[in-house]
Amino acid sequence: MPSLDEPVLEFDHNVIEHLGIRLYQNKPGNVLAEVVANGWDADAKAIHITTSADGCPAEDRFISVADNGVGMDLATIKSRYLVIGKPKRTGPKMLSPGGRRPMGRKGIGKLAPFGVARTVDVATSAQGVLTWFTLDLDGLLDAGKRGVAYPPVFNAREVSVDAPLPTDTAQDIVDFVERTRISTSRSGTLIRMSRLTSNSDLGDGEIESSLVKKFTVILARDDFRVFVNGTPFDQERATPEFELRIPATGYSTEVLGGNEIRFWVGFVKSAAWSSDQAGVAVYAHGKSAQDRPFFFGAKGKEIFQRYMYGVIEADWIDELDQDLVSTDRSNLDWAHPDSADLLEWGRTKVGVWLAEYDRHRATNHLRKVKIRASERRQKAEVLTYSSSENDQIDSLVAEATKELGKNQDDVADQLLEAVSMAWINLPSRTLIKNLWAELEGSHDGPDAFLKITARLHDHSVPESMGLAVTFAQRAYALSLLTKLVHQRSEVDLQELIEDFPWVLQPRGDLLTSDRHLKTTIEHAALTGDTNDRAGRLVRGISEKERADFVFLTDPSKKVIQIVELKAPAIELTSDHDRQLRDYLDFTKAFHPAAKLSGLLVGNPGNPAIESDDRRVTIRGWDEIILECRATYVQLLASMLERADPDPSDARLQLVKEFGGAPVWELLKKMAQTDQPLRDLMARLDHLAK
């Protein structure tokens, strides 16, 4: 029976089982965190973690954690360490003698080693005075069941740290004592866990991952170093490499209800880790209060959550009167009112972070798709179109494949081929070509001929409906253009016609804007030595007035139309007619074989101005636009009649949306005198709603 002055451990055996064995059973990372936290609370500046070598016999396996903190004298061991559940703090904002916020709170972390070991040695030195004792789990449980105090086995009691150690002392304890002897403070504590239970081994990589999971800022501080089997802890090696980090370096800081929150989040390129390593961890005073995986209950884009690795520091959690952190510091009490605001803040933040990662990922993926598509187009592996169309195809492929993980590039390649072919409806066009060839070689009589022509009609429907949508878009644009021409300058109208020359020629040859020809003609007039009347007059036209001219040509420049544009507010005069005729005469000298014509567009006046030159046509803006719109509505009606679409065809809705109400009303008016169109519009009555 120990004397009254003898250090003893008094407890109920259920305490050891529930707060030691079961709480930390086979969780060496959590055990390690508790012991390292004790070193932090003791103002240690260095922690040495030592483990038995790989392949070591089971009976010789161990884990030891040694610090150079303040250590404990025998009185402290008796009054604090051997008292289960004695709070480590005198208040929520208490500081250690070294000015640190203590991580420990409940005073039960000392039981954690029994979750992985059946024997625990505690060697501690306070200012050069060493005490070393052993706790045996079997003896503890037996004493607890009998209701008696447990006396630790003392291997050294208040002896000088310089005193020789027994010859059979374990090497990690010898190393600890040697470091303590030569240190300035000659203080520190070692916790050695031996007779390890199954599955309790920790390699260097697992140790580092466990430390990062449980600690954050303290591992990056200059006044706190951790060594694993003699090697300085490398936080960068244990922390994933990020494709995106928010912010790029350091922390962001926000204030929530008067409390500061520091945070950062990273996204890995490839989530080659177990699911419990992803998510957000919440820390208080540098130690975990909420382990991963955790996402604050955020919904949406869950597919990207596995790439997330976030850190949130909220020290005030550990300073509340109510302790919200679980005993093993793996979970916060999120149902408590004091954590409600943080929960909602975190849920919103996770959503914002995932959205930003989505944008980042989409941008990177689009860049990859564009590079790959460009390479394949150069090799003629996929069809090539205009640069704007190629961009649209690339964007479509990237959008469709951005959330794919495995084989993303292969799928994008296949989709690029399919979309490029579908862009011009290549499968249908190839089929139609083959049908025409089949029709040409058919000698099977009228029935076979009719079957082939029927198939030709069926496969021409996509082309007809595609044109119908295009004509509807143009008719709608012309409805708006009627208003816009009254609000724009001649320069604006010139640019408009150069980009959309079909406004002037809905039924004629499709000429295109030729800016080079215009520049060439004007340069010849301004710098040439011609003294003919036309040249002199063109030179006499001001730069502002010359900007009103648009040159339209066919590819061979055998047809040239010169268009002079005047805003509707300006009434056309004979001077405008003369300027246009002078341009025609001057151009004729350089292109004598071309078919030349001129178009003067503006406000013809009342009475309307007329030209004596048969090459010149004078028209008003309203006349041109209304005629062009009517033409495209007629073409739209023709395509609809030709396709004779099913009322449920989705492209009809596009015709309705792109054409707008004015175009739809024009179709209905045309249907009054066109029986096939009237029948079709009757079937499409549901779209009018």
Closest to 599 in 3D by CA, of 634, 551, 640, 559: 551
How high is the pLDDT of residue 134?
93
Residue 440's CB is within 10 A of a number of other CB atoms, namely: 8
> Residue 528 pLDDT more than 70?
no
- Overall size of the chain counted in residues: 689
Residue 558's CB is within 10 A of a number of other CB atoms, namely: 11
In the three-class reduction of DSSP (H, G, I as helix; E, B as strand; rest coil), residue 615 is classed as coil
If you average pLDDT over residues 152-172, what whole number do you get? 92
> Residue 514 pLDDT more than 70?
yes
How high is the pLDDT of residue 346?
92
Q: Model's pTM, two decimal places? A: 0.55
If you average pLDDT over residues 599-613, what whole number do you get? 86
Residue 444's pLDDT band, with cuts at 50, 70 and 90, is low
User: Average pLDDT, whole number, for the chain?
Assistant: 79
pLDDT digits (tens, 9 = 90+) for 540-558: 676 666 667 888 888 788 8
How far apart are alpha carbons 396 and 366 in whole angstroms? Answer: 9
**Exposed e or buried b per residue across 327-361, where buried means at least 16 C-beta atoms within 10 angstroms of its C-beta:** bbbbbbeeeeeebeebeebbeebbbebbeebbeeb
Q: C-alpha dihedral over 583, 585, 589, 590, to 10 degrees?
A: 30
Angle at 612 between CA 611 and CA 616, to 5 degrees: 55
Which of 165-169, 425-429, 433-437 has the highest mean predicted lDDT (pLDDT)? 165-169
pLDDT digits (tens, 9 = 90+) for 239-280: 778 889 999 988 899 999 899 999 999 998 877 776 667 889
Closest to 632 in 3D by CA, of 466, 467, 472: 472
Residue 120's pLDDT band, with cuts at 50, 70 and 90, is very high
Share of the chain above pLDDT 70, in %: 76
How high is the pLDDT of residue 406?
62
If you average pLDDT over residues 472-488, what whole number do you get? 70
Of 266 and 3, which is predicted with more confidence?
266
Q: Using a CB cutoff of 8 Å and minimum separation of 24, what contacts does 144-147 make?
A: 144/11, 144/12, 144/13, 144/14, 144/15, 144/16, 145/13
How far apart are alpha carbons 630 and 649 in whole angstroms? Answer: 25
621 Cβ neighbours under 8 A, 6+ residues apart: 485, 486, 568, 601, 602, 603
Of 217 and 487, which is predicted with more confidence?
487
* Residue 272 vs residues 4, 34, 275: alpha-carbon distances, Å: 58, 28, 9
DSSP secondary structure string, 262-275?
EEEEEEESS--S-G
> Residue 81 pLDDT more than 70?
yes
> Residue 439 pLDDT more than 60?
no
Of 639 and 128, which is predicted with more confidence?
128
Residue appearing with tokens 């076979």: 448
How far apart are alpha carbons 522 and 528 in whole angstroms? Answer: 10
Residue 286's CB is within 10 A of a number of other CB atoms, namely: 22
The token pair that represents 302 in the structure block? 């869950």
Share in percent of the chain as helix, strand, coil (round to 5): 50, 20, 35
How far apart are alpha carbons 584 and 436 in whole angstroms? Answer: 45
Q: Where are the alpha helices (DSSP H) in 62-203?
A: 74-76, 137-146, 171-182
Share of the chain above pLDDT 90, in %: 18
> Residue 348 pLDDT more than 70?
yes
pLDDT digits (tens, 9 = 90+) for 141-150: 887 777 778 8
How far apart are alpha carbons 117 and 110 in whole angstroms? Answer: 12
Residue 655's CB is within 10 A of a number of other CB atoms, namely: 26
The token pair that represents 235 in the structure block? 């936080």
Residue appearing with tokens 């995106």: 244
Closest to 235 in 3D by CA, of 262, 208, 203, 253: 208
How high is the pLDDT of residue 419?
76
**Exposed e or buried b per residue across 182-204, where buried means at least 16 C-beta atoms within 10 angstroms of its C-beta:** ebebbbbbbbbbbbbbeebbbeb
How far apart are alpha carbons 114 and 25 in whole angstroms? Answer: 8
Domains of the chain: 13-237 (3.30.565.10), 242-334 (no CATH), 454-689 (no CATH)
State the burial class of residue 283 (Cβ atoms within 10 Å of its Cβ: 0-12, 13-18, 19+).
Answer: buried
Of 630 and 260, which is predicted with more confidence?
260
Residue appearing with tokens 């022509």: 453
Residue 504's pLDDT band, with cuts at 50, 70 and 90, is confident
How high is the pLDDT of residue 34?
82
Which of 500-504, 572-576, 649-653, 660-664 has the highest mean predicted lDDT (pLDDT)? 572-576
Of 301 and 486, which is predicted with more confidence?
301
Beta bridge partners of 244: 267
Residue 18's pLDDT band, with cuts at 50, 70 and 90, is very low
